[in-house]
Amino acid sequence: MAEKTLAEVAAGLKARKYSSVELTRAYLARIEQAQPALNALVTVTAESALAAAAVADQRLADGTAGPLTGVPIIHKDIFCTAGVRTTCASRMLSNFISPYDATLVTRLKEAGTVMLGKANMDEFAMGSSNETSYFGPVHNPWDPKVVPGGSSGGSAAAVAARLAPLATATDTGGSIRQPAALCGVTGIKPTYGRVSRYGMIAFASSLDQAGVITVSAEDAAMTLQAMAGFDPRDSTSVDVPVPDYTAELGTPMRGLRIGILTEFFGEGLDPAIEKSVREALAAWQRLGATVKEVSLPNLPLSVPTYYVVAPAECSSNLARFDGVRFGHRCENPKDLMDLYKRSRAEGFGAEVKRRIMTGTYVLSAGYYDAYYLKAQRVRALINEDFRRAFGEVDLLLGPTTPTVAFGIGDKTSDPITMYLNDIYTIGANLAGLPAMSIPCGFAAGLPVGVQLIGPHFSEGRLLAAAHAYQRETDFHLRTPAGWAADFNPASKAGAK
């Protein structure tokens, strides 16, 4: 059972091979067993999960169930969940109980999913390794000594260890795709504006996008179908019809034009990763796709551009956490200024403080034009590079990360080296494009991911290409040693 995909779990529920309550209990037992080793969750909502599962079983029994009814889910702890702690893995919000649900949470709840808990993450989504969390680092189930990636490392580790068949996530500069690659799972970042950001605590508002981490592209299509769509409460939401993603999964690959990003295959790329990615490319060619090399000359500037734009927006967004209205508040402040200073100093971790300071600097008088305005101009050039490329090809392909997962603590003392781990993923965020990572092999015993990027609102094409590849390979179905043990949700062990 642990190896089953979301689609297979949903089919089992529909066929009444097990109930949602039995399934939920089995996953909760698995979480309890895994939590000391992985630290993948911040909060476990066992009681409410079992209550929601009972409601789902009633819907399954009376014939009103949808494709996701009764399926367990874990939400990244950046999404507001009514009556449940929403911490952003920060001391600043460690006591915050949200009074409302994020739109994404509401839609998945209406689809019948059962929330098991909230996933650990980098604090306020700032990090590439899930080591900046106030609640401690998440460990990669493939090797507990290495990172799972970030900021959605808890979501990726949970799906990789099969603690749930799916987990929500967010991507500001690669925070879905990079951990998906390092944990050997499937992750998709939709087009900016495709999924509502209402109730998703903001890091960098022009870059943040909600998405999902699953086992397979088919699972991602099923989930995105329920998540996507216009939301009038989100000013960045785009009112574009949502296609039937699952119906598009069978699209033939013959005639698909894939562009190879030449900038992604240069210095710094692990040769073992390049080998796996090129083997994946050959698989698409066997399925009928054609290949062409494509250059995006301004793409190498994406990292410095991002690390001006993102901290600037972070500085603005996190100004609301001041110890006055909600969140952490220092004890016995001498005056208002002391309240502000000590509450923020105590509430934020080192990486968050670093980015706030950087962002405040680039927005300050005398430096705005030199840094922030120039970064926005370069961002426009990167966007134009992508636009030209998609005049020649349908999808762009390259590695998701330059290396496999690195050791916990290996890069924490060197922020620049850490930032460069997102070198292949940031461009899609700057341009607001949909992108996904799927497993394509292993190097040194750790997973490797291949990245696909498409033009705006081409999620269906991305999912179809990923699905076609996954029908020919089994990398996405492989589970880490020690986490592959089968379990029966209807058994006494699962029903504890």
Closest CA to 42 of 98, 95, 108, 117: 117
The secondary structure of residue 328, as a DSSP letter, is: -
Is 307 among the domain residues?
Answer: no
> In CATH, what number is assigned to the domain containing residue 172?
3.90.1300.10
List, for residues 171-215, the tens digit of each pLDDT value.
999 999 999 999 999 999 999 999 999 999 999 999 999 999 999
Please say if 151 is a catalytic residue: yes
Residue 493 pLDDT grade (very low, low, confident, very high; cuts 50, 70, 90) = very low
- Judge contact between 78 and 200, C-beta under 8 A: yes
Neighbours of 316 (CB within 10 A): 16
User: What's the pTM value of the predicted model, to 2 decimals?
Assistant: 0.96
pLDDT at 20 (0 to 100): 98
Please determine, for residue 490, whether its predicted confidence score (pLDDT) is greater than 70: no
List, for residues 87-120, the tens digit of each pLDDT value.
999 999 999 999 999 999 999 999 999 999 999 9
Among 129-133, 399-403, 417-421, 437-441, the minimum mean pLDDT is found in 417-421
- Judge contact between 394 and 454, C-beta under 8 A: yes
Annotated catalytic residue within 19, 76, 90, 216:
76
pLDDT at 486 (0 to 100): 57
- Judge contact between 294 and 396, C-beta under 8 A: yes
Give ∠ CA 57-58-62 in degrees, rounded to 5: 120
Is 347 among the domain residues?
Answer: no
| CA diameter of the chain | 70
Percent of the chain with pLDDT over 70: 97
- In the predicted model, what is the mean pLDDT of residues 13-25? 97
Give ∠ CA 112-119-436 in degrees, rounded to 5: 80
Is 366 among the domain residues?
Answer: no
pLDDT at 266 (0 to 100): 86
Is 72 among the domain residues?
Answer: yes
Please determine, for residue 16, whether its predicted confidence score (pLDDT) is greater than 60: yes
Q: What sign does the CA torsion over 81, 83, 88, 92 have?
A: positive
The secondary structure of residue 241, as a DSSP letter, is: P
Per-residue tokens: 100: 């409302």
List, for residues 21-79, the tens digit of each pLDDT value.
999 999 999 999 999 999 999 999 999 999 999 999 999 999 999 999 999 999 999 99
Is 281 among the domain residues?
Answer: yes
Is 315 among the domain residues?
Answer: no
List, for residues 208-235, the tens digit of each pLDDT value.
999 999 999 999 999 999 999 999 999 9
- In the predicted model, what is the mean pLDDT of residues 391-406? 98
Is 342 among the domain residues?
Answer: no
At residue 403, the 3 state secondary structure works out as coil
pLDDT at 495 (0 to 100): 36
Annotated catalytic residue within 175, 237, 437, 458:
175
List, for residues 334-372, the tens digit of each pLDDT value.
999 999 999 999 999 999 999 999 999 999 988 999 999
List, for residues 452-485, the tens digit of each pLDDT value.
999 999 999 999 999 999 999 999 999 999 887 5
Determine the Cα–Cα distance for residues 321 and 334; give it in Å rounded to an integer.
Answer: 18
- In the predicted model, what is the mean pLDDT of residues 413-440? 94
Determine the Cα–Cα distance for residues 189 and 211; give it in Å rounded to an integer.
Answer: 5
Per-residue tokens: 376: 């926005």
Residue 120's domain comprises 6-299+380-477
How would DSSP label each residue in 92-107?
GGTT-B-SS--HHHHH
Please say if 76 is a catalytic residue: yes
List, for residues 298-330, the tens digit of each pLDDT value.
999 999 999 999 999 999 999 999 999 889 999
How many independent structural domains does the chain possess? 1
pLDDT at 25 (0 to 100): 97
How much is the mean pLDDT over the chain? 95
Determine the Cα–Cα distance for residues 143 and 470; give it in Å rounded to an integer.
Answer: 24
Annotated catalytic residue within 151, 196, 315, 437:
151
Residue type at 91 in one-letter notation: R
Please determine, for residue 487, whether its predicted confidence score (pLDDT) is greater than 60: no
Is 492 among the domain residues?
Answer: no
Place of tokens 């040194």: 444
Burial pattern 64-86, b for ≥16 Cβ within 10 A else e, equals ebbbbbbbbbbbbbbbbbeebbb
Cβ neighbours for 11, distance < 8 A, ≥ 6 positions apart: none
Please determine, for residue 2, whether its predicted confidence score (pLDDT) is greater than 50: yes
β-pairing verdict for 209-214 and 166-171: antiparallel
pLDDT at 492 (0 to 100): 41
Per-residue tokens: 355: 């980015």
> 159 vs 418, which has greater pLDDT?
159
**Phi–psi pair at 259, nearest 5 degrees:** -100, 130
pLDDT at 415 (0 to 100): 86
Determine the Cα–Cα distance for residues 440 and 452; give it in Å rounded to an integer.
Answer: 12
